[in-house]
Structure 1
Amino acid sequence: MREVETMTGMVIRVSPVGEMDKRLVILTRERGKIIAFARGARRPGNPLMAVSRPFAFGQFSLYEGRDSYTLRSAEITNYFDELSLDVEGTCYGSYFLELADYYARENMDGTGLLKLLYQSIRALLKPALKNELVQRIFELKAMVLNGEYTETPPCPVSDSASYAWEYVIVSPAEHLYTFTLTEPVLEEFIRCVEINKKRYVDKNFHSLEILHTMTGWKLLK
């Protein structure tokens, strides 16, 4: 009988397979990014239906196969249901999942990226924080975790923007979303993160394009 492995993680991508199954990409603490198949998860009443959806965070019990896993069961501690009530917030969250998928690697410790993703989605639910700020903090910290950053801002900015940049670099995920920025400083911070992304991130994100269309965002010059 195959041994069951339990991993802590979040579902970051879901796609249908056949008539009744789902293919999940899960960012886990123990193994980084894994692929798991949820058999019968599209069948009404199947216990795997609810746990096989994006943003589901918790403990996943899996059987390991040659190239993928089979999901046996899951204990979800946070579905982030509140996010589904906010269309814009859902778009931001979907982009975070896509960026995490881009950076995550298989068979590697996923603790840092998983913590960042979890705290960033929680931050989207905080009314006091602007989604634009949450996005840029998440992007910068994801690049930092991958070693793709400069210790100081890549263009001349105010002391406040420079401090924000350095704070994000050195702070743990749990302490990232504890500050706000004035509009002028936020614009400087956004500009710096965009420069860094252009330098290091070689991918167009579909969810980000949708988000830009929805918010009418234009790249700052």
Structure 2
Amino acid sequence: MNEQINVSGMVLSAMPIGENDKRLVILTRELGRISCFARGARRPGSTLMALSNPFAFGSFTLVEGRNSYSLISASIREYFTELAFEQPGVYYGYYFLDFADYYGREGIDGTDMLNLLYLTMKAILNPHLDNRLVRRIFEIRIMTINGEYAPDPALMSPSALYVVRYVMSAPLTKLYTFEVKPEVLKELENALNRQTDRILDRPLRSRRVLNEMIRT
């Protein structure tokens, strides 16, 4: 039997496979984004059932196979089950997972993206924070981590540019600690909508659903 591997990560997506299994995509600190199979996770009473859902964050024990990994067990630190009762917070959550999946690659260091995801999920559960601002902070930082964001000072007000530069360079733990004026938030929304339209080479269904929820 292959040696077991312990990784820290968050489940980005879970897909049913066959009658009893699931295929998971996990963003890990050590291996980047990986796919793994949770055998029997859909079987009633399975110890893997609660471990193999989106948003689950913790330590995962895997075995590497020829083409993928198999999930053996996990110690979950946060399930973020509260998101299911947050409207439209849960749609923001799925969008953040989807964006992380878009950038994730196997073999990269996933530390910054994983930490950003965890803190962002905490932020959207904070009733004192504006989810609209949380979204834009997340977008700026994840694009910065992946080298795809550089603001154009000529197209931004000094206030909006200050916010962007702060978000690009601040410690992750300081990202969700401020508010902005409505006009600055609107400017950030317009600028980041244009940027994400430009860089995404495939549509994110979660983005479309989130935008529809916000409009309604």
User: What TM-score range do you get, normalising by the shorter chain?
Assistant: over 0.9
| TM-score w.r.t. length of structure 2 | 0.96
Q: Which residue of 2 aligns with 1:81?
A: 81
Q: Which residue of 2 aligns with 1:144?
A: 144
Deviation of 1:156 after TM superposition, in Å, equals: 2.8
Q: Which residue of 1 aligns with 2:58?
A: 58
- The 3 A distance-change label for structure 1 pair 193 and 154 is farther
**Structure 2: stretches of 5+ with no match in the other structure:** none
**Structure 1: stretches of 5+ with no match in the other structure:** none
Query: Is the Cα contact below 8 Å between 2:91 and 2:209 reproduced in 1?
Result: yes
> Matched residues in 1 for 2:127 and 2:181: separation?
16
Structure 2 residue matching 1:2: 3-state secondary structure:
coil
Deviation >6 Å, runs of 4+: none
Q: Which residue of 2 aligns with 1:199?
A: 198
Query: Is the Cα contact below 8 Å between 2:144 and 2:168 reproduced in 1?
Result: yes
> Matched residues in 1 for 2:72 and 2:34: separation?
14
> Matched residues in 1 for 2:156 and 2:134: separation?
22
> Matched residues in 2 for 1:3 and 1:154: separation?
54
- The 3 A distance-change label for structure 1 pair 119 and 28 is same
Overall identity of the aligned pairs, in % = 50
> Matched residues in 2 for 1:72 and 1:120: separation?
28
- The 3 A distance-change label for structure 1 pair 134 and 177 is same
> Matched residues in 2 for 1:131 and 1:154: separation?
27
Query: Is the Cα contact below 8 Å between 1:27 and 1:33 reproduced in 2?
Result: yes
| TM-score w.r.t. length of structure 1 | 0.94
* RMSD between aligned residues: 1.3
Q: Which amino acid aligns with 1:149?
A: Y
Structure 1 residue matching 2:155: 3-state secondary structure:
coil
> Matched residues in 1 for 2:153 and 2:44: separation?
51
> Matched residues in 2 for 1:83 and 1:16: separation?
21
